[in-house]
Chains A and B, each alone.
Chain A
Amino acid sequence: MRDTFPLLLGAFPFGLIYGAVAATSGLSLAAAMAMSAFVFAGSAQFVALGLVSAQTPVAIIVLTTFIVNLRHMLYSATLLPYLKELPQKWRIPLAFWLTDETFAVAVHRFQKTDSSRWKHWYQLGSSIAMYLNWQFWCFIGLVLGNRMPDASNWGLDVAMPVTFIGMIIPFVKTIPLAICVLTAGAASLLTLGMPYKLGIVASAFAGIAAGLMAERIAKKTKKALQA
């Protein structure tokens, strides 16, 4: 609980902003709340809001959600060795509540060398705290967002690009990642004409491919220099 606390604090403005942005996106209050309750994936929810306000078809939103959340596969792959002895009734809730934050605290706990047999309880506690916290702040944000008259004209939609920029910057730590971001960004402007916002998916793939290639070239150059 002590390790999760800063993350609870960190999540509260995002819950608030999510609620406020949702109120301007054209999504109904019930749908925005249901999304928090059932999907429970902060960045995917934000992306979905952006797509809803751009009037994107449902199939593309679901496809984008899939791409945005693919990183959770890496988390579950990392946690798998620690959880594979547990019965399915444990694995299902732990999977449902697996987020970036919970992964970060849980993996630290699992990697500590003490032989506690209750480490999965630690992940469960962290998960539930994150979940309730997220629901609460989303709800407050939605209520506030809906109370404000003409909230859609206030320019609150700027919260989305601003939040995203803040989230992108810490990723850009290496040259391949910078190339990935530049490529995906350029591609997003070149693919504006594509229907159903498919340009976002195409641009993401272009960025990922460029990043992978850059990484490969970097590795080869390193080897060549060492040889």
Chain B
Amino acid sequence: MTANEWLMIAGMTGVTFGIRYFLFALADRVRLAPWVEASLKFIPPAVLIAITLPAVLLPKGDWQVSFSNPYLVSAVVTTAAGILTRNLLATITVGLSAFFTYRFFL
């Protein structure tokens, strides 16, 4: 393991445990400000989409908006599968199969 990897894991462990333990440690009635509480539910989808969209549209670092981009095609299929099945595992299975089938025939 490199020094950079140690640093990363130590940092991630620190912030993750810090977040989970902060309120438990205080234990007194700590109330989050209402607007902070309201914003919590927006965090996971906002972060996920901000990582996913560039990864799909620029898979190798360059713009690739065409049918020859299997990442984009499988992302569209995955989205459709997700909306239709409402089941995470089924969605992932469909998305992965779409990617590898499409790339095979490309």
A contacts, CB < 8 Å to B? 10, 13, 17, 27-28, 30-31, 34-35, 38-41, 43-44, 47-48, 50-52, 58-59, 61-62, 64-77, 79-80, 83-84, 88, 91-92, 94-96, 98, 155, 158-172, 176-177, 180-181, 183-185, 187-189, 192, 199-200, 203-208, 211-212, 215
Contact in complex: A73, B32 (CB < 8 Å): yes
A126 CB to closest chain B CB (Å) equals 15
- How long is the Cα–Cα vector from A221 to B62 in the complex, in angstroms? 42
Residues of A within 8 A of B51 (CB): 47, 50-51, 160, 164, 188, 200
Contact in complex: B11, A167 (CB < 8 Å): no
B contacts, CB < 8 Å to A? 1-2, 4-9, 11-17, 19-25, 27-28, 30, 32, 35, 37-58, 70-71, 74-75, 78-79, 82-83, 86, 88-89, 91-92, 95-96, 99-100, 103
Instruction: Provide the main secondary structure of the chain B interface.
Output: helix
Contact in complex: A62, B11 (CB < 8 Å): yes
B29 CB to closest chain A CB (Å) equals 8
Instruction: Provide the main secondary structure of the chain A interface.
Output: helix
Contact in complex: B57, A189 (CB < 8 Å): yes
Residues of A within 8 A of B89 (CB): 10, 13
Residues of A within 8 A of B16 (CB): 39-41, 44, 65, 69, 72
Complex partner residue of B42 from A30, A35, A207, CB under 8 angstroms: A207
Query: Taking each of B20, B40, B42, B92, which has the highest tally of chain A beta carbons within 10 Å of its own beta carbon?
Result: B42
Residues A188 and B53 in contact in the complex (CB < 8 Å), given A168-B48, A212-B38, A212-B39: yes
B44 CB to closest chain A CB (Å) equals 6
Residues of A within 8 A of B6 (CB): 31
- How long is the Cα–Cα vector from A74 to B24 in the complex, in angstroms? 11
